[in-house]
Amino acid sequence: MDATVGLVQALLPVTAHVNARVSAAHPSARILGTERVGSAVVVEPGGLLLTVNYVVMGARRVRVTMTDGRRLEAKVAAQDFESGLALLRVAATGLPAARLASSDEVVLGASVFVIAATGPTERRVAGGIVTDLGEFEAYWEYVLDRGIVSSAANPGFGGGPLFDIRGSVVGVVSLNLEGIGRESLAIPIEYFTRYRSELLRFGRVTSRRRRAWIGVFPHTLDERLIVAGLVPDGPGELAGLQDGDVILRVDGQEISSRRDLYAVLWRHEPGERVLLDVLREDRRQRVEVIAQDRSDFYAVERRRSGDPPPG
């Protein structure tokens, strides 16, 4: 790693460990569990921290621990389901805050490093180089126009800062990627800085068009798009989609990849009807799904045990 030991030590105080507790009744609990741990980075000394949304989604209680051992109760201040970022607010002032830089200055081959929490006061560091700066798409109805993939594999829990060689934050590490070698994906810091005022005012990004969401986990296999999973009680499952369905067309348009699916799906807004032609056990079927807003579906107080899922 090219970063000096002194630089890394100076940056440790801007990081935090995150512990989130989620009700078993929350729709994310069946996939992500009820107790989650993550990393975070202080982005404002007045008590604002940035992390990844999957760690705190649906949390009834969030606690962050700084490297000096201070434990602070936190509230989820904002969530961006499209980028995968979340903001936490703690009742503290004078926190050491990270310096934020533009990820537009990051180039292929640039040296970067990650600091991630492995325990309340334990941190680990990993260094590497940027290996990809292109579009990143994934199976949970997720696309980043520009993701930062690097050989600095995440050494701890998700949500830690990705630093450039000068010690400025250029991204937030989301997860390690499978494949040859070890790489990680970071969400560019612009997904926070560009929408900071909206996130703080409304708790979400309001200037973007809302994306339709149907709660499927599609995977490509032999040039066919397969439903490899469904969000429990999500719009796709409620409409009758099943694991193993092959998605042939959406709104009459032929589909052969996740990117095809997302491009057609995101022409719709929540509440609109989406028609999927699928192949199930060698028989063609049409499934009508009423798309939803993912952030509404996963709202903390949206459901309690025994309540019906949203219509």
Please report, as a single letter, which amino acid is at residue 296: D
Does any domain span residue 287? yes
CA 155/CA 114 separation, integer angstroms: 8
Does one domain contain both 152 and 234?
no
Residue 234: domain span: 216-292
Does one domain contain both 224 and 270?
yes
10-residue stretch averages of pLDDT, the chain, 311 residues long:
83 98 93 96 98 96 97 97 98 96 95 97 97 96 97 96 97 87 92 97 95 97 94 96 97 95 97 98 96 90 37 28
Counting the structural domains of the chain, the total is 3
Does any domain span residue 297? no
Does any domain span residue 27? yes
Does any domain span residue 269? yes
| pTM of the full structure | 0.92
CATH at 275: 2.30.42.10
pLDDT for 305: 36
Q: Of 97, 122, 144, which residue sits at a domain end?
A: 97
3-state SS, one letter per residue, for the chain: CCCCHHHHHHHHHHEEEEEEEECCCCCCHHHHCCEEEEEEEEEECCCEEEEEHHHHCCEEEEEEEECCCCEEEEEEEEEECCCCEEEEEECCCCCCCCCECCHHHCCCCCEEEEEEECCCCCEEEEEEEEEECCCEEECCCEEECCCEEECCCCCCCCCCEEEECCCCEEEEEEEEECCCCCEEEEEECHHHHCCHHHHHHHCCCCCCCCCCECCEEEEEECCEEEEEEECCCCHHHHHCCCCCCEEEEECCEECCCHHHHHHHHCCCCCCCEEEEEEEECCEEEEEEEECECHHHHCCCCCCCCCCCCCC
Give the closest residue to 16 by CA, choosing from 171, 130, 95, 120. Answer: 120
Does any domain span residue 202? no
Does any domain span residue 63? yes
CATH at 128: 2.40.10.10
pLDDT for 307: 37
pLDDT for 223: 85
Does any domain span residue 122? yes
Q: Of 65, 97, 129, which residue sits at a domain end?
A: 97
Does any domain span residue 298? no
